[in-house]
């Protein structure tokens, strides 16, 4: 933030004291407006919500890479079935009642995309079978403890890629939020100056109205004294009405500008405000080559392009992996025990090793995979081309802005001299008007000329300030303070 000048502080204090004694009015400086926008700007809030959403996704993804503990319970299961035993060519009835639970610990291995898990299934069952008039019953406790590993083969590391994708999404959201902060600063500054300009125009029109009223009274007295014709009285009356209309129109413009600023700041529309600032323009030296170099090394949009390029490369890997040769291997080792007596469940354990290897071998896909790979490569080439074009656009915009700044300094000097000349011309012709040497229509032209020159001068000052801010955003360098700006560090600090 720029340091508030002593004059601005005096104006603000005067405004605040007036506000406390008369109206409930918010007095805004540029610094205060930008401070409010960081908290309550609707655009910034929307961007912050998006950033927080991606942050929580990243937290969830990192948590998913830690050991997962799960307990699955089957309190009761009962079945009564009639089936045919082909070994004995006889029908039998089986009645089964069991209860079981499984506790498991699984751990994904991000380096190899494998999953290792430790499982223990404990249960109790009662089974009754009736076959050929013979009835058999079995009641037993069972426990199956095993360690298993599943490892994909000939395939990209999906776990690691998912992790990287979410990290890129989060970084992109951070950049979007930082860019939104810069955009809000630009918009708030523009709206702030719109209100300031509207206030200034209103003051100019009020001064014009004051002069029109004085001129009207002069002509009125002259007409009553038969020193001037009635057509001059009618012209003065028309000038006065026109000045009053201008004041009213500019009051409306001011209120509209205030509403736009309040909406952008996130303030209530019923709240009244006034802006206080001092526009002092000093020539700021700018090295175009340094500005371009700093922009190309720090512009966040270029980093976004890099993120998009990396995401496209990941998509290419995924496309190449689809409908391609791949496989997996699963290995499990454990021990199983059962017994009617719980304490003797592992008196006669059974080793239970298991291994499984599988492969997927695509044979013919009518060129689908090849076409998808080619399409993704074209997307990557297109992205690279757009990046190069954006670099050119950045350089062109910086060069154009620097030229505009030089031109605006000249325009400010000309506008200032024009105001001085218009004021001198008006003062001289006002005296001539009072002496009856000029008509009311001619005097109105000089009055309008003075007002338009004052408005043009204020507009030139504002244009220079806005263009300087535009250069700061384009280069991420504050040439007034002679220091780079770090949007992402500000984002991390706020969050």
Verify that 485 and 401 share a domain, yes or no: yes
Verify that 100 and 187 share a domain, yes or no: no
Verify that 39 and 97 share a domain, yes or no: no
Verify that 292 and 205 share a domain, yes or no: yes
For the segment 8-58, what is each residue's pLDDT rounded down to a tens digit?
333 343 344 334 434 467 898 888 988 888 888 888 889 999 999 999 999
CATH code of residue 123: 2.20.200.10
323 vs 248, higher pLDDT: 248
Residue position matching structure tokens 């057509």: 231
User: How many structural domains are present in the chain?
Assistant: 2
SS (H, E, C) 232-286: HHHHHHHHHHHHHHHHHHHHHHHHHHHHHHHHHHCCCCCCEEEECCCCCCCCCCC
Report the pLDDT value the prediction gives residue 174, as an integer from 0 to 100. 92
Q: Is residue 6 pLDDT above 60, yes or no?
A: no
Verify that 124 and 203 share a domain, yes or no: no
Domain contains 223: yes
CATH code of residue 183: 1.20.1600.10
Structure-token pair, residue 246: 């201008």
10 vs 466, higher pLDDT: 466
3 vs 86, higher pLDDT: 86
Verify that 191 and 86 share a domain, yes or no: no
Domain of 75? 68-109+114-154+326-361
Verify that 150 and 167 share a domain, yes or no: no
Between CA 391 and CA 43, with CA 295 as vertex, the angle to 5 degrees is: 95
Verify that 139 and 74 share a domain, yes or no: yes
The region of weakest confidence among 89-93, 262-266, 304-308 is 89-93
Domain contains 277: yes
For the segment 205-215, what is each residue's pLDDT rounded down to a tens digit?
999 899 889 88
Verify that 293 and 415 share a domain, yes or no: yes
Q: Is residue 66 pLDDT above 80, yes or no?
A: yes
In whole angstroms, what is the distance from residue 86 CA to residue 401 CA?
90
Verify that 294 and 402 share a domain, yes or no: yes
Report the pLDDT value the prediction gives residue 93, as an integer from 0 to 100. 86
Verify that 174 and 288 share a domain, yes or no: yes
């Amino acid at each position: 933030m720029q340091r508030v000048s002593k004059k601005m502080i005096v104006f603000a204090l005067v405004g605040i004291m007036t506000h406390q004694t008369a109206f409930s009015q918010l007095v805004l400086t540029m610094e205060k407006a930008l401070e409010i926008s960081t908290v309550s700007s609707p655009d910034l809030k929307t961007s912050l919500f998006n950033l927080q959403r991606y942050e929580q996704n990243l937290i969830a993804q990192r948590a998913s890479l830690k050991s997962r503990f799960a307990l699955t319970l089957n309190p009761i299961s009962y079945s009564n079935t009639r089936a045919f035993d082909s070994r004995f060519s006889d029908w039998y009835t089986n009645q089964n009642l069991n209860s079981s639970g499984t506790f498991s610990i699984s751990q994904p291995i991000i380096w190899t995309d494998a999953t290792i898990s430790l499982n223990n299934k404990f249960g109790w069952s009662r089974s009754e079978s009736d076959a050929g008039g013979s009835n058999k019953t079995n009641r037993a406790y069972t426990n199956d403890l095993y360690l298993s590993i599943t490892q994909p083969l000939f395939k990209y590391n999906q776990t690691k890629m998912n992790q990287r994708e979410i990290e890129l999404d989060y970084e992109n959201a951070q950049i979007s939020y930082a860019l939104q902060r810069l955009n809000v600063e630009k918009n708030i500054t523009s709206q702030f100056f719109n209100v300031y300009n509207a206030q200034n125009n209103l003051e100019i029109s009020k001064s014009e109205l004051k002069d029109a009223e004085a001129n009207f009274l002069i002509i009125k007295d002259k007409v009553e004294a038969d020193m001037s014709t009635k057509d001059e009285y009618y012209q003065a009356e028309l000038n006065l009405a026109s000045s009053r209309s201008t004041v009213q129109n500019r009051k409306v413009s001011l209120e509209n500008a205030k509403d736009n600023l309040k909406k952008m700041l996130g303030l209530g529309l019923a709240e009244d405000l006034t802006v206080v600032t001092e526009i002092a323009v000093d020539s700021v030296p700018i090295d175009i080559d340094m500005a371009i170099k700093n922009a190309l090394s720090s512009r966040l949009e270029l980093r976004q392009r890099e993120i998009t390029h990396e995401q496209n490369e990941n998509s290419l890997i995924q496309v190449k992996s689809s409908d391609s040769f791949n496989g997996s291997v699963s290995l499990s080792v454990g021990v199983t025990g059962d017994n009617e007596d719980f304490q003797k469940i592992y008196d006669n354990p059974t080793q239970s090793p298991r291994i499984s290897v599988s492969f997927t071998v695509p044979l013919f896909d009518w060129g689908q995979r090849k076409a998808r790979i080619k399409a993704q490569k074209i997307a990557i080439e297109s992205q690279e081309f757009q990046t190069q074009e954006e670099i050119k656009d950045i350089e062109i915009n910086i060069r154009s802005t620097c030229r505009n700044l030089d031109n605006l300094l000249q325009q400010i000097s000309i506008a200032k001299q024009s105001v001085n000349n218009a004021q001198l011309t008006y003062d001289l012709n006002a005296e001539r008007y009072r002496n009856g040497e000029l008509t009311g229509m001619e005097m109105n032209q000089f009055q309008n000329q003075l007002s338009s020159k004052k408005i043009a001068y204020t507009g030139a000052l504002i244009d220079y300030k806005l263009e300087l801010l535009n250069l700061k955003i384009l280069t991420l360098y504050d040439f007034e303070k002679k220091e780079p700006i770090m949007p992402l560090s500000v984002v991390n600090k706020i969050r």
